[in-house]
Structure formats: C-alpha cells, structure tokens
Amino acid sequence: MAQYRVKNSSSLDKAFKVYGGHHIVSAGKEDDVLNAADLSAELIDAFARDGVKVTLIANGKGDQPGKYTVTDKGRGWWAITLDSKEVTKSLREDDVKEFDKLSDADKAAFVDLHKPE
C-alpha cells in the first residue's frame, strides 16, 4: 500500500481505493490518502488532466519514493530520471545544472513542468 498527497482542484469528488474501502477527496480540497492501492503513472497523469494533483509520499514498502537523478543522455542532452526511468523530456545542461540544489518540492515541480509530451 502506498501513501499519496492529493490536491483536488476539480469540481468533482475523487475516490481512491484504500485498504478496507475508499477514501474520498472532496472537490477543492487537499488530503493525504494513506494505505492506498498503488497508482500507475498513467492513472496519475489521467488525474492531472482532470485537475487532480497526486504526489507519492511513500511507496508500498514504507520507503520514501525514489531519488531523482540528473542523467547524461549524450550529445549535450540530459534528463531527470526516477528509479532509472526518464520522467522529463530531453533538456540541455544549463536547464539541469542546478537541479540537485532544489528542494524536494521544487524538484517535483520541475519534473512536472518538463514532463514528456
């Protein structure tokens, strides 16, 4: 089971499957959803398209989510990876050189801003 922080900016309540039932995050509210079923990246993206921001707080093992890494793709291109999976589009070195100095929240915002299309 995972833990997520959910900011529901949509006009509809959203339900998340949790151990023992469902957790409802009301429209316009923010809440932590504990003991939740793991959500795929595709489902998290679908929520985002509906105005619902879902951020992983801790994965099913109780560990913190993986660490972002700046990865050299070669020929002057870079990307941010999470657990060895690229989570941003290709970027130039100047775009990522200060990434490691950002706070965790700012790193997540940077990745969100540079998601692949």
Domain hosting residue 89, numbered range:
68-113
pLDDT of residue 110: 92
Digit-coded pLDDT (tens) for 38-58: 888 888 999 999 999 999 887
Judgement on whether residues 50 and 72 belong to the same structural domain of the protein = no
Q: With the CA atoms of 28, 29, 32 and 33 taken in that order, what torsion angle do they form, in degrees rounded to the nearest 10?
A: -60
Judgement on whether residues 21 and 40 belong to the same structural domain of the protein = yes
pLDDT of residue 70: 92
pLDDT of residue 60: 58
In a domain, 62, yes or no: no
CB neighbour class for 93 (10 Å; exposed up to 12, middle 13-18, buried from 19): exposed
Digit-coded pLDDT (tens) for 60-115: 554 445 678 899 999 999 999 887 788 999 999 999 999 999 888 788 889 989 98
| Distance set, CA 17 to CA 24, 37, 80 (Å) | 9, 6, 30
Judgement on whether residues 6 and 40 belong to the same structural domain of the protein = yes
Digit-coded pLDDT (tens) for 8-42: 999 999 999 887 789 999 999 999 988 788 888 88
Judgement on whether residues 47 and 91 belong to the same structural domain of the protein = no
pLDDT of residue 56: 87
In a domain, 105, yes or no: yes
pTM of the model as a whole: 0.51
pLDDT of residue 66: 67
